[in-house]
A = this chain, B = another copy of it.
Amino acid sequence: MKQPPRLAGRAVFALSAALIAAPAAAAAPAPVTPASVLAAAPDADWTAIDPHDLMVIDLAGGGRVVILLADAFAPAHVGNIRKLAAAHWYDGLAIERVQDNYVVQWGDPDGRKPLPAGIVTPAPAEYDRPAAGLTFPLLPYPDPYAKAVGVSGGFPVGEDEAKAWLTHCYGMVGVGRDYTPDTGTGAELYAVIGTPPRALDRNIAVVGRVLVGMDLLAALPRGTADLGFYSDPKQRLAIVRVRIAADLPAAEQPHLQVLNEASASYRAWVHAKANRQDTFFVRPAGALDVCNAMPPVRGAGRVGM
């Protein structure tokens, strides 16, 4: 019997938290799915994110973006970002560039705002770091760009020749710089909004991951000037306030948790994503790429994946 189009339209891609409560068939046990793994994960497998590690961007119109900062990978750049936020330097700046299938970028469009004291231009820039000192699970699947890939501290990571680096996945945040290397500070930042531009890996300092608000950034109108810059300043979206979450009044702080990549739940979640048993799937992939393996985040402003 042909399925009615309404069902075809509504049911397709039931790959979200909506499936957590999917009814089990009377006889067969419910399959293990990414959603069922998350629903069953004990609280101990979720790590509360320290508000000192979150950058909160409040946008004109009421939207909020929350970014987890990556001190372990780019301490000098993240140090700059912390100082810029503490100095309220970003307040009043704007999102100035949205290039489809690439990046959203924000900062000082006119380049006239003096940087506060203490902002350095790290050289050499933090394009990678020693792999030594990081212990993290590697995915058992090949990657086109790195010898191995895995997840560390909630971030996607590439590894090769005793070096480790954050990979450019959807929602990852990096430091804008000039054509020449070692010229970025953190005053200009971008987030990836399309196909992972992995060619940028190890060519730019990556400083964080957007945990809340990608739905806002990725839906902004694309700019029509070169590189997706807005051609008219009126098209820019103003940044009202940027703070480290710990510096916000308690009632305004986000409370987020990330699935601990060292936990059994994370391992089970990766396995379930690589070998989908959900009713929808007829041929599990048997693999997972690093950008689809970023640990889920839950909490105020973000539930499930």
Interfacial residues, chain A to chain B (CB-CB below 8 A) = 2-16, 18, 96, 98-103, 105, 107-113, 115, 121, 127, 139, 141-145, 169-171, 176-181, 183-185, 187-188, 190, 193-203, 214-215, 218-222, 226-227, 229, 273-274, 276, 279-289, 291-292
- The reply to whether A127 and B203 form a contact with Cβ atoms under 8 Å apart is no
Closest Cβ–Cβ distance, residue A30 to chain B (whole Å): 14
Chain B proximity of A217: nearest CB distance (Å): 9
A202 to chain B, nearest CB (A): 5
Contact pick for A282, options B139, B203, B273, CB 8 Å: B203
**From B8, B16, B184, B291, contact of A176 by CB (8 A):** B8
- Does A113 contact B219, Cβ atoms closer than 8 Å? no
- Contacts A203-B281, A282-B203 given; does A100 touch B214 at CB 8 Å: yes
- What are 14 A-B contacts with C-beta separation under 8 Å? A3-B121, A5-B111, A6-B111, A8-B107, A8-B187, A10-B229, A11-B177, A12-B178, A12-B184, A13-B200, A16-B99, A170-B194, A196-B289, A201-B285
Residue pair B101, A171 in contact (C-beta under 8 Å):
yes
Q: Which residues of B contact A3 (CB under 8 A)?
A: 121, 177-178, 180, 183
Q: A148 → chain B, closest Cβ, in Å?
A: 12
Q: In the assembled complex, which residues on chain B have CB atoms less than 8 Å from the CB atom of A176?
A: 8-9, 12-13
Most chain B C-beta atoms within 10 Å of own C-beta, residue among A109, A144, A285: A144
Return the 7 tightest CB-CB contacts between A and B, nearest first.
Answer: A6-B111, A12-B176, A142-B142, A100-B215, A18-B226, A215-B222, A3-B183
Residue in contact with A179 in the complex, picked from B178, B274, B279, CB distance below 8 Å: B279
